[in-house]
Structure 1
Amino acid sequence: MVLGQPGQVLRAGATRLAVWGDPIEHSRSPQLHAAAYRVLGLDWTYERRRVSEADFAAVLASLDDSWRGLSLTMPLKGVAFAAARRNDRRAELTGATNTLLLGRDGPSGFNTDIGGIVRALAEEGFDAVDRARIVGAGATATSALVALGELGTRRVEIAARRPSAVDPLRELGERLGVAVAAVDLAAPVHTSVPLTIATLPGDAPVTDAAADALAGPGGLLLDVVYGHWPTALSAAWDRAGRRAVSGLGMLLHQAVLQVRIFTAGDPHVPLDDEASVIAAMRQAVVGD
């Protein structure tokens, strides 16, 4: 007998998965993954567990052979990257691993956030884009920049409060062949772009004046936030009569890639009847 969450008993030999982070209560990953495995006919369990950065290594080492993989959210993407015996190219570029496939010879790491952004933008008609703006210069901005590079973007403005925060992103842009320029988040005027990706936390303070200045010439807004909606930026896009989409699409598609990894070991191998899997996952978090 194997104990899972309090009050839960798993059959011997059960395949276990989980999402870890701190905090973790907001995560929608359990609904997404449970929907996928029902369609796939897999009797797998997917838990939610609060794990701190300090406790990560010890908790990871405590897992037994019933564990197949982990989804990682903040603040664990850096320590997961370090724990992997190997990481895919997307994780190597960003230094961020949000998926671990567990095995006897050690975990393999992947970054599915980038693919989630690419696939979410494709649903909005962006199979390619020549220039764009990223709002925020944190860890998620790194994944957004790599995603834009994969879409053929050659010029990216990064709106940040501190210009120095953009320096690592400028260096990454050089590796990707993307020209990165820093602009002041509070600037009263911005250049016109067809696409803006917002990577700020949902409760990040942004003045109406700053948000409105970004919205007017900002094209489509993909705001990676999904738990705090509307955000200050999405509200500004609404005032400007422009389209804003939440991070639910990104969340959905990065989870699809995780399911591919957990079932086939490869994010590039499509699932059986993947369209039905995606429809069930979308229904689980969006409802339409």
Structure 2
Amino acid sequence: MNQRAAVLGHPIGHSKSPALHLAAYKALGLDIGYERIDVTEQELPELVARVRAEQNWCGLSVTMPLKRAMVSELDEVHGIAAILGAVNTVVVRGESLVGYNTDVAGIVNALRYVNVVPEPRVAILGGGGTAIAAVAAAAELAASTIEVLVRNRNRADDVVRAAAAIGTTISVRDFTGAAANLAEYDVVISTLPPQAGDFLADEFSQRSSTAQASGKILLDVAYDPWPSALAAAWQQAAGTIVPGLEMLLYQAVEQVKMFTGAPERVSGHVIDVMCDSVGAPRR
């Protein structure tokens, strides 16, 4: 029986995860299918029940808006996912579903190839499941300051709880005036959905001088369309941009290791093949 895997989210049509995973499984000589499944939070329990009942699933990738909702559907949650309360990876072991979070590794690895200053000042845009992972990644980078910028502070409660769980202090503020101050941070991580940060880009472009963001880094996890309006504005201000596609790549590498149960086989060649499948740069 062929094994199956999928990426779950809503909307999900833009996801490049199938290209990454299928390229990896082909390179590994494994007969594992991988598809997109559009699932809302309300529909998630029914989908999870189907996965449990069927006998050919090996894993699920989980994206917005399901990363927190998935936790309550699982038998076990391990590692940083348990601490943060956000899951982006589900490994299927028979009828048992085990949750992990590879987003943190994806963010850290995407940033490790640019010159992040020691103890950077970090701003995180958004307050959802990916923002929770971004807080943990910023802590791993030994950030001296972590500020989370949101539309509504009341929606940042989960991020605040996650930060406390890992022993990290953050501050939360709304987007008012944020664009004018973005270049004051050493690293900005946007976890906003595609085009949700365009209003910040317009304001940033109007207020920034040509080289205002020189030496500063923006990682925008939204990769379609690319460059995002915010990434284009940042680059215009001489800043360094890290495509969200790189975060997607590195978190997917960890997922492939888990879904196949053979991490030692996921070599540099397999990673190169995954890069080529989505046009990501080889590092």
Q: TM-score range by the shorter chain?
A: 0.7 to 0.9
Q: 1:86 aligns with which of 61, 70, 76?
A: 76
What's the CA shift for 1:230? 2.5
Q: Which amino acid in 2 is paired with 1:52?
A: T
1:148 matched to 2:141? The reply is: no
Question: In structure 1, what is the Cα distance between the partners aligned to 2:153 and 2:35?
Answer: 39
Q: Residue by residue, what CA displacement relative to the aligned partner does 1:119-165 show, whole Å, maximum 9, x if unpaired?
A: 11112244964321112223321110011112222311222333444
Q: 2:237 aligns with which of 233, 237, 240?
A: 240
1:106 matched to 2:96? The reply is: yes
253 and 79 in structure 1: CA distance in 2 versus 1, 3 angstrom threshold: same
| Greater shift in the superposed pair: 159-168 or 110-119 | 159-168
Q: Which residue of 2 aligns with 1:180?
A: 170
Q: Which residue of 2 aligns with 1:282?
A: 275
73 and 163 in structure 1: CA distance in 2 versus 1, 3 angstrom threshold: closer
Q: 2:224 aligns with which of 203, 224, 227?
A: 227
Q: Which amino acid in 2 is paired with 1:242?
A: G
Question: In structure 2, what is the Cα distance between the partners aligned to 1:277 and 1:127?
Answer: 30
Q: Which amino acid in 2 is paired with 1:236?
A: A
Kindly report which structure 2 residues correspond to 1:1-288, keeping only aligned pairs within 5 A, or say none.
13-63=1-51, 64-126=54-116, 129-187=119-177, 188-189=180-181, 192-204=184-196, 205-207=198-200, 208-210=202-204, 216=212, 219-264=216-261, 270-272=263-265, 274-286=267-279, 288=281
| Greater shift in the superposed pair: 154-163 or 254-263 | 154-163
Q: Residue by residue, what CA displacement relative to the aligned partner does 1:242-279 show, whole Å, maximum 9, x if unpaired?
A: 11122000000110010011112xxxx74325111110
273 and 22 in structure 1: CA distance in 2 versus 1, 3 angstrom threshold: closer
Q: Which amino acid in 2 is paired with 1:278?
A: I
Confirm or deny: 8 A CA contact 1:189 1:213 kept in the other structure: no
Q: Residue by residue, what CA displacement relative to the aligned partner does 1:200-249 show, whole Å, maximum 9, x if unpaired?
A: 11221414224665893581100011012222311221221111122000
Q: State TM-score, norm by structure 2.
A: 0.86
185 and 79 in structure 1: CA distance in 2 versus 1, 3 angstrom threshold: closer
Give the percent of matched residue pairs that are identical in Structure 1 and Structure 2: 37
Between the two proteins, the alignment pairs up a number of residues equal to 272
252 and 210 in structure 1: CA distance in 2 versus 1, 3 angstrom threshold: same
| Greater shift in the superposed pair: 189-198 or 41-50 | 189-198
165 and 287 in structure 1: CA distance in 2 versus 1, 3 angstrom threshold: closer
Confirm or deny: 8 A CA contact 1:186 1:210 kept in the other structure: no
Confirm or deny: 8 A CA contact 1:155 1:178 kept in the other structure: no
Question: In structure 1, what is the Cα distance between the partners aligned to 2:275 and 2:152?
Answer: 37
CA RMSD of aligned residues (A): 2.5
Confirm or deny: 8 A CA contact 2:48 2:73 kept in the other structure: no
Q: Which amino acid in 1 is paired with 2:203?
A: A
Q: State TM-score, norm by structure 1.
A: 0.85
**What SS class does the counterpart of residue 5 from structure 2 fall into?**
strand
**What SS class does the counterpart of residue 100 from structure 1 fall into?**
strand
Q: Residue by residue, what CA displacement relative to the aligned partner does 1:90-130 show, whole Å, maximum 9, x if unpaired?
A: 21233221111112351001111111111111122449643
Q: Residue by residue, what CA displacement relative to the aligned partner does 1:35-86 show, whole Å, maximum 9, x if unpaired?
A: 1111111122112222232222222222311111111222222332111111
| Greater shift in the superposed pair: 46-55 or 208-217 | 208-217
182 and 214 in structure 1: CA distance in 2 versus 1, 3 angstrom threshold: farther
Gaps of 5+ in 1: 1-12
Question: In structure 2, what is the Cα distance between the partners aligned to 1:164 and 1:226?
Answer: 27
Gaps of 5+ in 2: none
**What SS class does the counterpart of residue 123 from structure 1 fall into?**
coil
